[in-house]
Amino acid sequence: MTCAACVANVESTIAAIPGVQEISVNLATESANIRSSHPIPIKTFTKAVAKMGYKLEPQGSSSLIHRQQRTIAAWKKLLLIQTLFGVPLLIYAMLEMFTELQLFSPTTSITIQLALASILVISGSGYYRRGFKHLLLRAPNMDTLVALGTGSAYLYSIISTTNIIMEWKIEGFQTLYFEAAGTILLFITFGKWLEAMARGKTTEALIGLMDQMPTEAEVFRANSWQILPLSKINTGERIRVKPHTKIPVDGIVIFGSSSVDEASISGESLPVEKQVGSKVMGASLNLQAILEIKAEKIGRDSMFGQIIKLVEDAQARKPEIQKLVDRIAAIFVPVVLSLAIISGTTWLLLGYGLTFALNVMISVMIIACPCALGLATPTALVVGSGIAARGGILIKSADAFQQLSQIQVMVFDKTGTLTESKPRIVATYPDNSSDFLGLAMGLEQHSQHPLAQPLLAYGVERSIPAVELSDIQEEPGLGMLGSLNGSTVRICKAKPDNSSNQDFTQALDQYSTKGYTVSAVYTDDTLLGLIAFSDTLKPEGRSVIDALSTQGIESILLTGDKREAAAQVAHTVGIKQVKAEVLPTDKHDHIRELQDHGKTVGMLGDGINDAPALVAADVGLSFRGGTDIAINAADIIFLNDSLQNVLFAHRIAKATISKIHQNLFWAFIYNLAGIPIAMGVLYPFTGTLLNPMFAGMAMAFSSVSVVSNTLMLRWQDHFRDV
């Protein structure tokens, strides 16, 4: 498929098959989702699509990627060729048209234009093959209009060339329009290249997710450990996972204990302790010690596999802006073709001769050729994207502009989004004693735990020396141990302890209520002190949430982190709706629930666990410092970590979409006004007939007006004043 009219043709063909209840064809993913009242053999769809000149293939992400890469390369090559020969043709033709400058003799000038235009037509032969093929199939698309419009201009110029050189003096064939054909082909090819680039972005998230999935596992078989592909692992088998490797399957720990980084699944920024009987999830990272697990869910059945499935399903959805283009294309192309034929035939029957009728038909085709229509969106996107990029924002597609401009709900992840994802010490108890901090530093200076560095930095900042300990060791699940003067010093995760005094218990309860992560320091069995850690909030969070609220945009916090920590963050930044301790599937489902209530939803996140929600949302946003998966899944990437980017991007999106609407308006106004004149409706009253030369000028002027209107975006320098 090459355009929106192709989508409309395929949809109408499949919709006509008995039993089909709903059909949605997606140009970006080159896929069709069909719902039917009863099972329909696949060959039925294959035959129906083949009759329309298309081929139905089994869906496969890797094959789609390769096809898209080849398509992008092909359009780029064609664009380079047409730029090389099209720009000189346009400049040369304009010099002769608007100045009295004659660089060569008339015969040489005509020969040069003929040669350049012929190269452009030959290099763009794909437009003619596709266009005329679909015309014969009675399913015209935009390629059909391009082929007929540029072909008419080229053929008219060939006839004029012969008429001028041979001095036949045929009335109405004294002007050349080679530059019209060349300009149209050049601009349409530029738009096709931009479209192919945008379509290629849609599969990056899916391929990135698949790369994160482990492909093999160490399994116990035939009394030995063997490394086998994941596809050959069965449920119930024993899997061994070494430190600093990814857990390949969902399962239950049957031997060992360790800390596991589940940030890719749950969004929890701190490692989770796992012991015998604990559940583990595939694609999470084992940090400390060997684990043996019993496999329960493998590959696509695992939690991470379900994330991939959700991303695939979300990418198959058709955006609203594409549906609008489909409807316009389905009407525009056949209407223009019909008007050209009707007008030419009418004048011929009225006795005005073949030359007069042919002039009318060519004028209609040239003035209606979708050059301005093709420029309306890509030029606005180029300028809008450039403004955003200068401000540190990358916007991937037209859909992102469209959806962000209409956003009603903004959903935020917590860790790394509203917070800096950098733990720091926020409280100690007792706060008038630093002795236990020195002991904790003495242990943690030998640890790789994520909380070790914040503790050591805290001590250095307050000039607290680390106490030197002996026999230091790290026991997974129990913390760090060491010896001092015959006593055992230990730091571990704080837990309620009935043997502790009431003051310690109250302090721990207070910290837990606020969602802090709390470590406890012991000498033998005596509790010496508590250390509370928390993530650092971004300072601009409150002002951004307030600004969104002022614009009528509701903010929601959706996180896999603990309920208490989420509530504390939400209260601080002013978010009223909070959902905590949610898995990636829960995030995805909540986004869907909001959409089912008619809301246009944005999602800002930076983790692998956010990927399903990012692609399910109407527009996904992420930071450059986030995971590759989140970056690929998102529609908008912020190159710095400031939340102010949300407001900046929203302003640019609204301004850009406004320009697109204005451009489309002007493009259609020229057609609505120009086509009747080209058809000759004024001729009986005024004797005025729009010949192809003026039709070409009108077409060129419509393109200039669209581009000029778009460039006015650059004058709006207030975007960054947030």
Name which of 175, 117, 174 is nearest 151 in CA terms.
Answer: 117
Written as one string, the DSSP assignment of 129-190 is: HHHHHHHHTT---HHHHHHHHHHHHHHHHHHHHHHHHHT---TT-----HHHHHHHHHHHHH
Q: Which of 672, 661, 666 is nearest to 703 (CA)?
A: 666
- Is residue 471 a contact partner of residue 446, using CB atoms and an 8 Å limit? no
Is 722 in contact with 648 (CB distance < 8 Å)? yes
- Tokens 């026999």, residue? 471
- Cβ atoms of 240 and 281 within 8 Å: the answer is no
The answer to whether residues 714 and 384 touch, using CB atoms and an 8 Å cutoff, is no
> CA angle, 719 as apex, 713 and 722 as ends, to 5°?
170
CA 84 to chain centre: 32
3-state helix, strand, coil in the chain (%, to 5): 55, 15, 30
* Cβ(45)–Cβ(33) below 8 Å: no
Helix (H) or strand (E) holding 411: strand 409-412
Picking from 30, 25, 21, the residue whose alpha carbon sits closest to that of residue 60 is 30
Element at 684 (helix H, strand E):
helix 683-686
641 backbone dihedrals φ, ψ, rounded to 5°: -90, 10
Q: Which residue in the list 326, 413, 610, 635 is annotated as catalytic? A: 413
DSSP string, 468-537: P-EEEEEETTTEEEEEETTEEEEEEE----TTS-HHHHHHHHHHHHTT-EEEEEEETTEEEEEEEEEPPB
Residue 324 CA to its chain's centroid (Å):
19
Strands 636-638 and 619-623: parallel
Helix (H, G, I), strand (E, B), or coil: what is residue 464? coil
Q: Smallest Cα–Cα separation from 250: which of 273, 275, 274, 279? A: 279
Interior CA angle at 484 toward 479 and 485, to 5°? 150
Helix axes 4-15, 42-51, angle to 10 degrees: 130
Q: How far is CA 696 from CA 159, 180, 578, 648, 702, in A?
A: 17, 6, 59, 40, 10
- Rounded-to-10 torsion of CA 103, 106, 109, 113: 150
CA distance 606 to 628: 9
Residue 382 CB-density burial (10 A; 0-12 exposed, 13-18 middle, 19+ buried): middle
In the annotation, is 635 catalytic?
no
Measure CA 317 to chain center: 13
Kind plus residue range of the DSSP H or E element containing 243: none
590 Cβ contact partners less than 8 Å away, ≥ 6 residues apart: 411, 558, 579, 582, 613
Bridge partners for 250 per DSSP? 297
CA dihedral 149, 155, 158, 160 (to 10 degrees): -80
Catalytic residues: 413
